[in-house]
Amino acid sequence: MKSGQAISPELREWVAAQLAAGHSVPSLRASMRAAGWHDDAADAALQGIEMQAAAGVAVEPPSARMPGPDLSVSPLYVDAGDRRVQVLQTMQLPRVIVFGDLLSDDECEGLIAAARQRLARSLTVETQTGGEALNVDRTSDGMFFERGENAIVAQLERRIAALLRWPVEFGEGLQVLRYAPGAQYRPHYDYFDPGEPGTPTILRRGGQRVATLVMYLHEPEQGGATSFPDVGLEVAPKRGTGVFFSYDRPDPATRTLHGGAPVLAGEKWVATKWLREREFT
């Protein structure tokens, strides 16, 4: 790759704008080569776009605004309104932030108690139809809270909105999952594949997912880490902490492939908040 030239969001916006103007992917690759970009850099910038274009899927520029805390001065703590949250670890690509002391023990216990009575085998979004279905890659039990369903959920949603600077209304309902020994969720992406036939139906409810926050409510004795295999990162499921990651386009180039490693002993409970581009209805 040409020295000093990163594949930035601005470059991808330029690529998307040129495609929208009617230029072909091969012509863009030729233009980048003429401007001094090496082949591997051009391929990285165009990754995923050529496949979408061939499938007739509209390619739109990534959103300039993304959820996330202000870390411009490398703070050790971030004000989340009603709580001071620790910044334990950060990564740029993928954009990952590990938060400490995000939930109190009482909040963790309260969410588990409220969720326990409604657990069922976890479903995943079915992008073929836009509905939900069982997935052999996901072996947890789970349930969803409606936004603001009870006092703990409403308080946590306000805290997340303040921490990540993203409106409460742009969030899906909070999902709580229980992983028994042996349960896992194999590596996957959280965004909705633009090439799948059910995706337009899903996007009507609030646009694409742009970020995920996984919060650990109960830690297992062994196993259960959240892994990012593309970058060799594992986040230990410590109670009260959370791992946030964002993805500015529905593309593997975001490197947000992630999974829940098998629980080897004990139980793992997590709460997940997915954030959309706009109000989720």
Please give the full DSSP string across 60-108, using - where no structure is assigned. -PPPS-------TT--SEEE-SSSEEEEEEEETTTEEEEEES-S-HHHH
What is the pLDDT at residue 140? 80
What is the pLDDT at residue 24? 73
**Residue 25 in this model has a pLDDT that exceeds 60:** yes
Give the separation between CA 144 and CA 87, rounded to whole angstroms: 27
Average pLDDT over the chain reads 86
- Categorize the per-residue pLDDT at 38 as very low, low, confident or very high, splitting at 50, 70 and 90: confident
CB distance 61 to 21 below 8 Å: no
Q: Among 24-33, 54-63, 230-239, whose mean pLDDT is lowest? A: 54-63
Q: Which two tokens stand for residue 183?
A: 């349960």
**Residue 189 in this model has a pLDDT that exceeds 50:** yes
- Please provide residue 101's backbone torsions phi and psi, each rounded to the nearest 5 degrees: 55, 40
Q: Which two tokens stand for residue 193?
A: 């594949």
**Residue 151 in this model has a pLDDT that exceeds 70:** yes
Q: Where are the alpha helices (DSSP H) in the chain?
A: 9-20, 25-34, 39-46, 49-54, 105-116, 151-164, 199-203
Domains of the chain, residue spans = 9-54, 77-276
What is the pLDDT at residue 35? 78
What is the pLDDT at residue 1? 40
Nearest to 162 by CA among 264, 68, 34, 38: 68
| pLDDT, tens digit (0-9, with 9 covering 90-100), for 168-185 | 999 999 999 999 999 999
**In the chain, % of residues over pLDDT 70:** 79
| pLDDT, tens digit (0-9, with 9 covering 90-100), for 225-274 | 999 999 999 999 999 999 999 999 999 999 999 999 999 999 999 999 99
CB distance 40 to 2 below 8 Å: no
SS3 assignment, position 255:
coil
**Residue 61 in this model has a pLDDT that exceeds 70:** no
**Residue 154 in this model has a pLDDT that exceeds 70:** yes
- Categorize the per-residue pLDDT at 46 as very low, low, confident or very high, splitting at 50, 70 and 90: confident
Residue 70 identity (one-letter amino acid): D
What is the pLDDT at residue 228? 98
Higher-confidence residue: 158 or 54?
Answer: 158
Q: Which two tokens stand for residue 270?
A: 């997590």
Q: How far is CA 139 from CA 114, 118, 123, 220, 267, in A?
A: 21, 16, 9, 16, 13
- Tell me which architecture the domain covering 77-276 has in CATH: Sandwich (2.60)
